[in-house]
């Protein structure tokens, strides 16, 4: 099963978009195939420096939502958080360029390397998330700037997506003969999601205050240099929710052991990186006992929620067949459930 084609700019579109910026002589333009396949990006080397042009996917091209994300990014920049600088258009100085139905953004290009799965980088990622939460504590909005709310916790959309997966995947020849097992697998994940959501609600998560969260804190959105974060990118998902939702997803993403075929991924995370991420966060923000008690269950919800949208849309996650990813997710969910009590402790004993 092939993943969907990555969206790309055509030459005419690129020429029109770049004509709105004061870049000087352009030396080179290179495809930048990272992030969402629905959001084409190119790297630009020109007289004024190095930049990254991005076209937002249509479902994230609402002007109000973009104004909110830019509001947060500018707030972070003033707090000297490592956020790439937005480049305004020529003349009117707009942060967002609209051409017909498409929305474009131009950012300074920050050189760095991907997450190397080291303990030090995991700790740095946790520390930076706490810095993000500290820096955005006083972000405010008014009626002219509606901000999104909600997250992967106890989300009706996750349940609806899970329930629709059987019909989505059964249409692919690669799943013929596995329909009964697929239905059982979906029900197992749905039951685990419900148990986790109920446990988190019982722990009092909803009593925690809402604040700005990044909502997509994973290795692909952090750039490193010498094991330090030099840039945090992609603020499309920023919203108001509870900070521990970010922490749990980050702890999952920066500790997951994933290489090669999902069938070969181990059930357990890298616990050294898991502890390092949380210790990094704790250098700036100490989670409450209530928040810490929610971590493993929120990690379960995050893992399941991450699988659902791409599978319901395409039947796959990246280059991997959705069925194989769901089986992997079920194994990891089972491990997290059995180890939940131990993972909630500040240190393994």
CA distance 114 to 244: 24
pLDDT, one tens digit per residue, over 95-137 is 999 998 899 999 999 999 999 999 999 999 999 999 999 999 9
Q: Do 123 and 40 sit in the same domain of this protein? A: no
Contact 307, 162 (CB under 8 A): no
Q: Do 165 and 313 sit in the same domain of this protein? A: yes
**Cα atoms in the Cβ-side hemisphere of radius 13 Å centred on 287:** 28
Q: Is residue 152 part of a domain?
A: yes
Determine the distance from the C-alpha atom of residue 71 to the mean position of all C-alpha atoms in its chain, rounded to a whole number. 19
Q: Do 214 and 290 sit in the same domain of this protein? A: yes
pLDDT, one tens digit per residue, over 277-335 is 999 999 999 999 999 999 999 999 999 999 999 888 878 887 888 888 999 999 999 99
CA distance 140 to 160: 32
Q: Do 261 and 185 sit in the same domain of this protein? A: yes
Closest CA to 227 of 146, 309, 121, 348: 121
CA distance 177 to 111: 48
Position 282 scores a pLDDT of 97
Q: Is residue 2 part of a domain?
A: no
Q: Is residue 348 part of a domain?
A: no
Contact 125, 229 (CB under 8 A): yes
pLDDT, one tens digit per residue, over 219-242 is 999 999 999 999 999 898 999 999
Q: Do 184 and 86 sit in the same domain of this protein? A: no
- Name the domain count of the chain: 2
Position 349 scores a pLDDT of 42
Is 68 in a helix, a strand, or coil?
A: helix
Q: Is residue 61 part of a domain?
A: yes
Q: Do 32 and 180 sit in the same domain of this protein? A: no
Q: Do 317 and 233 sit in the same domain of this protein? A: yes
Residue 182's domain comprises 119-343
Position 65 scores a pLDDT of 85
- Tell me which of 58, 83, 108 is where a domain ends: 108
Q: Is residue 273 part of a domain?
A: yes
- 234 or 245: which carries more pLDDT confidence? 245
Q: Do 99 and 182 sit in the same domain of this protein? A: no
Q: Do 169 and 40 sit in the same domain of this protein? A: no
Q: Do 126 and 204 sit in the same domain of this protein? A: yes
Q: Is residue 1 part of a domain?
A: no
SS3 content of the chain, % helix, strand, coil (to 5): 50, 15, 40
Question: Taking 60 as the threshold, does the pLDDT of residue 348 lie above it?
Answer: no
- Tell me which of 51, 73, 108 is where a domain ends: 108
Position 36 scores a pLDDT of 76
Which residue's structure tokens are 């419900």? 194
pTM of the model: 0.92
- 45 or 91: which carries more pLDDT confidence? 45
Q: Is residue 308 part of a domain?
A: yes
Q: Do 169 and 289 sit in the same domain of this protein? A: yes
Q: Do 267 and 231 sit in the same domain of this protein? A: yes
pLDDT category of residue 245 using cuts at 50, 70 and 90: very high
End-to-end CA distance of the chain: 44
Question: Taking 90 as the threshold, does the pLDDT of residue 347 lie above it?
Answer: no
Tell me the CATH number at 41.
3.30.200.20
Contact 99, 250 (CB under 8 A): no
pLDDT category of residue 1 using cuts at 50, 70 and 90: very low
Position 142 scores a pLDDT of 79
CA distance 288 to 228: 27
CA distance 311 to 303: 13
Position 100 scores a pLDDT of 87
- 143 or 125: which carries more pLDDT confidence? 125
pLDDT, one tens digit per residue, over 52-98 is 999 987 766 678 888 899 999 999 999 999 999 999 999 889 999 99
Q: What angle do CA 241, 308, 136 make, to 5 degrees?
A: 20
pLDDT, one tens digit per residue, over 173-206 is 555 566 678 888 999 999 999 999 999 999 999 9
The DSSP result for 209-248, as a single string, is PPEEE-S--SGGGEEEETTEEEEE---TT-EEE-HHHHHH
Tell me the CATH number at 242.
3.90.1200.10
Contact 294, 200 (CB under 8 A): yes
- Tell me which of 108, 137, 158 is where a domain ends: 108
CA distance 189 to 181: 12
Q: Is residue 150 part of a domain?
A: yes
């Amino acid at each position: 099963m092939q993943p969907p084609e990555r969206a790309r700019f055509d030459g005419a579109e690129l020429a029109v978009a770049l004509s709105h910026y004061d870049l000087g002589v352009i030396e080179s333009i290179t495809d930048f195939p990272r992030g969402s396949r629905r959001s084409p990006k190119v790297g630009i080397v020109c007289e004024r420096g190095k930049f990254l042009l991005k076209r937002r996917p249509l479902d994230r091209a609402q002007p109000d939502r973009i104004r909110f994300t830019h509001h947060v990014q500018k707030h972070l920049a003033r707090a000297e958080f490592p956020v790439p600088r937005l480049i305004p258009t020529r003349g009117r100085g707009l942060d967002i360029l609209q051409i017909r139905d498409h929305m474009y953004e131009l950012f300074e290009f920050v050189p760095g390397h991907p997450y190397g799965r080291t303990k030090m980088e995991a700790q740095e990622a946790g520390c930076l998330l706490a810095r993000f939460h500290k820096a955005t504590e006083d972000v405010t909005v008014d009626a002219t700037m509606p901000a999104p709310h909600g997250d992967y916790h106890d989300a009706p959309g996750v349940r609806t997506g899970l329930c629709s997966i059987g019909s989505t995947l059964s249409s692919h020849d690669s799943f013929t003969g596995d329909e009964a097992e697929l239905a059982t697998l979906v029900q197992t994940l749905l039951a685990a999601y419900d148990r986790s959501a109920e446990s988190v609600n019982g722990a009092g998560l909803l009593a925690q205050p809402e604040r700005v969260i990044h909502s997509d804190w994973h290795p692909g959105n952090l750039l490193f240099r010498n094991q330090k974060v030099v840039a945090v990118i992609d603020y499309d998902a920023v919203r108001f929710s509870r900070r521990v939702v970010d922490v749990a997803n980050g702890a999952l993403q920066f500790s997951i052991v994933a290489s090669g075929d999902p069938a070969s991924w181990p059930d357990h995370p890298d616990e050294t990186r898991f502890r390092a991420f949380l210790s990094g966060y704790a250098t700036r923000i100490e989670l409450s006992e209530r928040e810490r008690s929610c971590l493993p269950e929120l990690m379960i919800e995050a893992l399941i929620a991450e699988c659902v949208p791409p599978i319901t849309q395409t039947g796959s996650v990246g280059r991997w067949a959705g069925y194989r990813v769901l089986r992997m997710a079920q194994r990891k969910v089972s491990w997290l459930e059995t180890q939940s009590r131990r993972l909630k402790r500040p240190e393994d004993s």
